[in-house]
């Protein structure tokens, strides 16, 4: 019975039933599932199928929008739980995070931000469609130790490279670590654009950030 709750969450995402995604997420939390397990085995796993169905032409944009809405709402139920579990007094570093200009995919970026802050980093989330200069200005203003950039489109991942170029031009690059991520982003891309690291999920993003800043 308990195992099928995660499967039910996965199915509601696949079937774009946003309200039920939230309902089952609450149930799973009450049943004692760990938030990360709910995210990975339920929400993310379902969203992967939605992406595949969209790619193959079986689903259209409204499916994506409704499924993402359900996932976003479910994430807002889980975020306080994630943070509560990661409470620690020590501050490990300050990170500016955002989805690059031209790109409005926010779920993965927000999850990475939540996990970083749950693990002791101070996170400034600039949101989505973030202009190059906004990354730079915010990082300068708060003397950030790192910038994390998300890009979900092949057409916007190049903006990650542009931000790094601008960091070089502004003389800030040597004092700020840069990590990149998002579905089309790879380790090779990260190396090519001169980022300090790449991670393909929120848990490895935390490990990477710790490795870079500690
Ligand atoms: C939901 C979704 C949407 C939603 C987003 C809603 C929202 N509020 O975020 C909506 C409906 C708005 C949308 C719109 C579009 N989308 Co869309 N979308 C998706 C979908 C199905 C899921 C993305 C998601 O949230 N995944 C769940 C999260 C948890 O995973 P994630 O984002 O990958 O993040 C994880 C990792 O990548 C990593 N990570 C992410 N960011 C970062 C940052 C750092 C620093 C690090 C270290 C790690 C990291 O950690 C995260 C947590 O594990 C993907 C399919 C896919 N396979 O990704 C398509 C997808 C990304 N979309 C796609 C497209 C084409 C579009 C549109 C152009 C469609 C259109 N015709 O309008 C628009 C573009 C809008 C824009 N300008 O940005 C394509 C992109 C193709 C390409 N290669 O460029 C995809 C791949 C679908 C497909 N298979 O065709 N989309």
Vertex 13, ends 7 and 18: CA angle to 5°? 125
Give 183 Cα–ligand 1 centroid separation in angstroms.
Answer: 7
From first to last of its 214 residues, what are the pLDDT tens digits of the chain? 445 899 999 999 999 999 999 999 999 999 999 999 999 999 999 998 998 999 899 999 899 889 989 998 999 999 899 888 876 656 889 999 999 999 999 999 998 998 888 778 999 999 999 999 999 999 999 999 999 999 999 999 999 999 999 999 999 999 999 999 999 999 999 999 999 999 999 989 999 999 999 8
- Give the count of beta carbons closer than 10 Å to the beta carbon of residue 211: 11
Q: What is the DSSP string of 21-40?
A: HHHHHHHHHHTT--HHHIII
Give the per-residue pLDDT at 1.
Answer: 46
C-beta of residue 54 within 8 angstroms of C-beta of residue 102: no
Q: Which of 123, 94, 102, 118 is nearest to 182 (CA)?
A: 102
153 lines ligand 1 (CB under 6 A): yes
Q: Report pTM.
A: 0.90
Give 43 Cα–ligand 1 centroid separation in angstroms.
Answer: 14
Spatial separation of the C-alpha atoms in residues 18 and 12, rounded to whole Å = 7
């Amino acid at each position: 019975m308990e195992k099928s709750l995660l499967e039910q969450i996965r199915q509601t995402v696949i079937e774009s039933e946003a309200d039920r995604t939230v309902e089952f997420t609450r149930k799973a939390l009450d049943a004692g599932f760990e938030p990360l397990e709910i995210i990975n085995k339920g929400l993310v796993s379902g969203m992967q199928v939605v992406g595949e169905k969209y790619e193959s032409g079986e689903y259209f944009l409204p499916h994506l929008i409704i499924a993402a809405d359900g996932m976003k709402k479910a994430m807002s139920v889980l975020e306080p739980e994630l943070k509560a579990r990661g409470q620690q007094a020590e501050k490990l570093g300050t990170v500016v995070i955002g989805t690059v200009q031209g790109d409005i995919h926010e779920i993965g970026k927000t999850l990475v931000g939540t996990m970083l802050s749950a693990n002791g980093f101070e996170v400034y989330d600039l949101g989505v469609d973030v202009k190059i200069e906004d990354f730079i200005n915010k990082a300068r203003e708060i003397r950030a130790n790192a910038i994390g950039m998300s890009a979900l489109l092949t057409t916007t991942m190049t903006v990650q490279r542009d931000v790094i170029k601008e960091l070089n031009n502004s003389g800030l690059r040597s004092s700020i670590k840069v990590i990149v991520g998002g579905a089309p982003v790879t380790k090779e891309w990260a190396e090519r654009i001169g980022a300090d690291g790449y991670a393909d999920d929120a848990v490895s993003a935390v490990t990477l950030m710790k490795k870079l800043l500690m």
